[in-house]
Amino acid sequence: MTIDLDPANPFATESPLPYGLPDFTRIREEHYLQALLAGMAQQRAEIEEIATDPAAPTPENTLEALERSGRLLHRAATAFFNQSSSDSTPGLEAIEEEVAPLLAAHSDALYLDARIFARLEALHQAVESGDLVLEPDTAWLLHRQRTAFIRAGIGLDAESQDRLRALNAEITSLETAFGRKLLAGANAAAVLVSDERELDGLSSDARAAAAQAATDRGHEGAWLIELQLPTQQAPLAVLRDRALRERLHTASVTRGATGDDHDTRATVLALVRLRAERARLLGYEHHAAYIAEDATARTSEAATGILTQLAPAAVANARAEAADLQAALERDVPGAELEAWDWAYYAEQVRKERRALDDSLLRPYLELERVLYDGVFRAATELYGIRFTERADLKGYHPDVRVFEVFEEDGTALGLFLGDFWTRESKRGGAWMNNLVDQSHLLGEKPVVVNNLNIPKPPAGEPTLLAWDEVITMFHEFGHALHGLFSDVRHPSQSGTEVPRDFVEYPSQVNEMWAWEPSILRAYAVHHVTGEPMPQEWVDTMLASRLDNEGFATTEYLAAALLDQAWYQLAPADVPTDAEDVVPFEAAALERAGVAFTPVPPRYRTTYFNHVFGGGYSAGYYSYIWSEVLDADTVTWFEENGGLNRENGERFRRALLARGGSGDPMDAFRELRGRDPEITPLLARRGLLAAASASTD
């Protein structure tokens, strides 16, 4: 690799735009590869300078020097990986395939460098002996850096380190391949409808979006239902045509097991086997143990324990819900058995019968602009005093991306928020948050954060009307954005969401509570045509129905989380070798875990489980429920202290959001709550309190 980079490359120098926003008007595909290669070479040279520094190790010449290194690589990588997941092209996919193993090797070059580790050890010994006293955030940085080197294999012999390097390169390449196959497979599996009568029940705006999607793919006069990442597809709740529901559900659950170029099964098995081998090489029983040790769970037994603790009551609730849905189905189709593709539709029918309310009635009151400005932004203003100004002069990586400048209550500039809300063929499924610039006092940088969602895009000039789940997703992802925006740390590696995987979902899940806050809900739940507020009786009904279908929701989540653990608690020799064994393994794992219930498939099945095979959640999908224990307990704290007000917001911001990864995150929780977390609020939220109490009697 060469350190030289063409000065005309937009990444060659720091972006001149406000807050260091990448200049996407100048960035071309070819710029990424050049900058990534030069960035790796440049950081290697910087690491070499640190390693060969003749001066005794100090926090400045070792810890801070490491923090300052790799700025070119970081600028290029954050922009590249954000764009490759949000607006991919064949060119970007080719670059990712090329650089993925190189980046893995680059990481190994740092974390297997015995000279750097010796400098960290010298600092550690000085702290232990009392000769060096560090500020708390710097002490935590030293602890985390030493831990990273140890977990990366610095203690292995040379032969084992060579094997480890090969494993890391293969794993990274396979993750990239999984994501590429999944995106292509999802696009290929989109359901094309030629007879509009089959769309009975689908709202007019959703039909318009489906028609536009079909036109965009060359199917003028038809309708295309694009797949969302989870098993459940939103249209299943409203489509009256049972055959179309079955077709849509089947398209969803068979992704990745199609026997064609989009089949992910061989990739899954290779990933599981290689990760299991790597864990054994590093001294762990399995990959799940390796992951849990560096999280707040500490052990895979603790992670699995909370899942299995909740499973019996959740499945019991789901079976009770299924009995009600079966009765509703039989009224329409005598003798029919409830299937997975029936669940969402008849859950809506039962809810309408009991609550006189369904999702199609709510959508006209949930228009994206109102939800964003009078919901998501308004809640943040009332809690934290921050304000938002859209910057049409600043451009994102795609024309749909919107840029907002964020200000403190006193007018001080805080950072940038980018919103990328609509789905498109080039965007991977799901919803997520990325950083383009990490806040850091050491580097003098303020945060630039991105939220990506996958809401169907209506035809030009039409409003974007949301399902209730999409409203919750907007609040959730903005919780991640706040974690990044409010970061107030010295070191960039501790910025914002740089916390353990099983803690990172906690602040975002807390932010969901404000979607339900009466004053916020009244502000954004307004009819997009008439301006009339959502009827109060509907709001009351929504509040009363929060436990509806909770058995299903908890069971589908637990099934996915337990499936993740089942794959990653395997020893290398126990991993199946035939792709045809993937689906049987999954079925057996769900049966053993007690969550095998046909009408409620896992939220993600193995072949399209991007979180754990293409993303950063391998053996970590339990994190959502683990974080929800903290979240539910914190919601109780807000309620006990007056709810939505500036005092509570400021305390939550300073105790948790601002600290990022600059200390033990559980210490931050204890500072806020005054004690360790309790599970009771979570059990109450998910309707499991009575069942859990009964099991302990």
Q: Which residues pair with 157 in a beta bridge?
A: none
Active site residue 537: no
Residues 6+ apart with CB under 8 A from 283: none
Cα dist. 130→55, 205, 317 in Å?
20, 67, 56
Distance of CA 666 to the CA centre of its chain: 21
In one letter, which amino acid is 260?
Answer: D
Distance CA 376, CA 124 (A): 44
Phi and psi, residue 453, nearest 5° = -125, 175
In one letter, which amino acid is 421?
Answer: F
Residues 6+ apart with CB under 8 A from 48: none
- Dump the DSSP string for 270-311: HHHHHHHHHHHHTT-SSHHHHHHHTSSS-SHHHHHHHHHHHH
- Dump the DSSP string for 114-146: HHHHHHHHHHHHHHHHTS----HHHHHHHHHHH
Catalytic: which of 198, 226, 477, 512? 477
DSSP structural state of residue 490 = S
Residues 6+ apart with CB under 8 A from 226: 186, 187, 190, 210, 213, 423, 425, 456
Count CA within 13 A, CB hemisphere, residue 492.
Answer: 21
In one letter, which amino acid is 602?
Answer: P
Surface-to-core class of residue 182, CB atoms within 10 Å of its CB (0-12 exposed, 13-18 middle, 19+ buried): buried
Surface-to-core class of residue 270, CB atoms within 10 Å of its CB (0-12 exposed, 13-18 middle, 19+ buried): middle
What is residue 11's three-state secondary structure?
A: coil
Q: Identify whether the C-beta of residue 19 lies closer than 8 Å to the C-beta of residue 415.
A: yes
Q: Identify whether the C-beta of residue 498 lies closer than 8 Å to the C-beta of residue 660.
A: yes
Distance CA 495, CA 253 (A): 37
Q: Which residues are catalytic?
A: 477
